[in-house]
Structure 1
Amino acid sequence: MAKYYDVHPDNPQPRTIGQIADSIRADALVAYPTDSCYALGCRLGSRDGIDRIRAIRKLDDRHHFTLVCQDFAQLGQFVRVDKDVFRAIKASTPGSYTFILPATKEVPRMLQHPKKKTVGVRIPDHVVTQALLAELGEPLLSSTLLLPGEEEPMTQGWEIKDELDHVLDGVVDSGDCGTEPTTVIDFSGGEAEIVRHGAGDTSRFE
């Protein structure tokens, strides 16, 4: 049964954020809000979390998981970014973008694309998510909370708890959340390739 965390959208309660972070460190799988839409998140090295996300979303092993990072310093530990790509990403973050880049050795092999050795990364523009990342001190392993057969993610914490109470350990609710996933840009080949049009403006990458 999922624990329900009611978090203030502008001034997240430190005690509650600490409880959520502690649960994630203990291998919990949580649904949490972002600047685009709700996502599923777990500890970076959690094999159980990965398997549960794949089961909930019915994903295959070619699916790119995302490392949700607090800032550029953290992002740079997990992906290789050359100078030109750095400028393009810097101009778009924090924001509703996921960037696919070559993974460093800090990224567990089970999270990398099996052939390309890449991983998705993003820096969200969301007060609650940023508070949680600061408390954790490491990225969240994440995937959009989009259920099989659905066209849009759920937007309400209570709705997610009702639907997924039996498969989640926690639901973070800070009010209404969007329905549009991030825009996904693949920079692994050096040039910007738009993989998915989403909440982030793509004009600068076209």
Structure 2
Amino acid sequence: MLIKLYEENPNQREIEKVLEVLRSGGIIIYPTDTVYGIGCDITNARAVEKVAQYKNVKIEKSNMSFICSDLSHLSDYAKPISNSIFKLLKRNLPGPFTFILEANSNVPKYFKGKKKTVGIRVPDNNIIREIVRQLGNPILSTSIHDEDEVLEYTTDPELIHEKFENFADLVIDGGFGDNIPSTVIDCTSDIPEITRQGKGELEE
């Protein structure tokens, strides 16, 4: 299923369709402020497993992150952070950044393994944030990669739908995506460290 949503004013009826897919354990492909993402409700183990198989990784070894609608979800999944780290997040989110934080015990066990961290994303994209807000918990997030060596990320939602219609239950057309991924910042020590420079300049 391919549905069109506009960032300025996402249609509630269409959002309901997306929520229905997520709640029934489906996989969706959605726009962010960087590349298109593929994901599911993080509380649905079977759906998470399916995404991990697509990425050809074990869940606990994967670098998938959680998309939150705002910073109020932070304490649900991350251990308490210092004031300076909180200010850093507040200054840069919503935005094209993934912040790696120490995970707390609420993070579903299948994500953790030996890994004690969680990646948090609050994209500057109203479509996916509104979906997460109405769902009530984060969506798993991992980028769509392309086999094309020139173009690492597919940006056209219609081509994405053509390519993934047998895998994803629903593709959201939110217009052309970007082909630069998010910047990743490791905040697990006192001094935040950029581990992948992608889109966006971090305001420190």
- Give yes or no for TM over 0.5: yes
Q: 2:18 aligns with which of 17, 20, 36?
A: 20
Q: Is the 8 A contact 1:39 1:143 kept in 2?
A: yes
Report the Cα offset of residue 36 of structure 1. Answer: 0.9
Q: 2:56 aligns with which of 55, 58, 65?
A: 58
Report the Cα offset of residue 175 of structure 1. Answer: 0.9
- Which residue of structure 1 lines up, in the alignment, with residue 120 of structure 2? 121
Q: Is the 8 A contact 2:92 2:203 kept in 1?
A: no
In 2, Cα distance between equivalents of 1:165 and 1:82: 43
User: In the superposition, relative to structure 1, how do residues 157 and 131 fare at CA in structure 2: closer, same or farther (>3 Å)?
Assistant: same
In 2, Cα distance between equivalents of 1:30 and 1:116: 25
For 1:121, what is the secondary structure of its paired residue? strand
Identity of counterpart residues, as a percentage? Answer: 29
Is 1:93 the equivalent of 2:102?
no
Summarize deviations over 1:64-86 as a string: whole Å, max 9, x none.
Answer: 22110011111221112222211
Q: How does 1:12-161 map to 2 (within 5 A)?
A: 12-60=10-58, 61-80=60-79, 81-112=81-112, 114-147=113-146, 152-161=152-161
AA at the equivalent of 1:55? Q
AA at the equivalent of 2:106? E
- Which residue of structure 1 lines up, in the alignment, with residue 190 of structure 2? 190
For 1:22, what is the secondary structure of its paired residue? helix
Report the Cα offset of residue 189 of structure 1. Answer: 2.2
In 2, Cα distance between equivalents of 1:201 and 1:101: 19
Number of equivalenced pairs: 201
Report the Cα offset of residue 133 of structure 1. Answer: 1.4
Summarize deviations over 1:133-184 as a string: whole Å, max 9, x none.
Answer: 1221111111111246755211111111111111111100011111111100
User: In the superposition, relative to structure 1, how do residues 149 and 52 fare at CA in structure 2: closer, same or farther (>3 Å)?
Assistant: farther
Q: State TM-score, norm by structure 1.
A: 0.91
Summarize deviations over 1:40-86 as a string: whole Å, max 9, x none.
Answer: 11011222222222222223442222110011111221112222211
For 1:181, what is the secondary structure of its paired residue? coil
What is the Cα-based RMSD across aligned positions, in Å?
Answer: 1.7
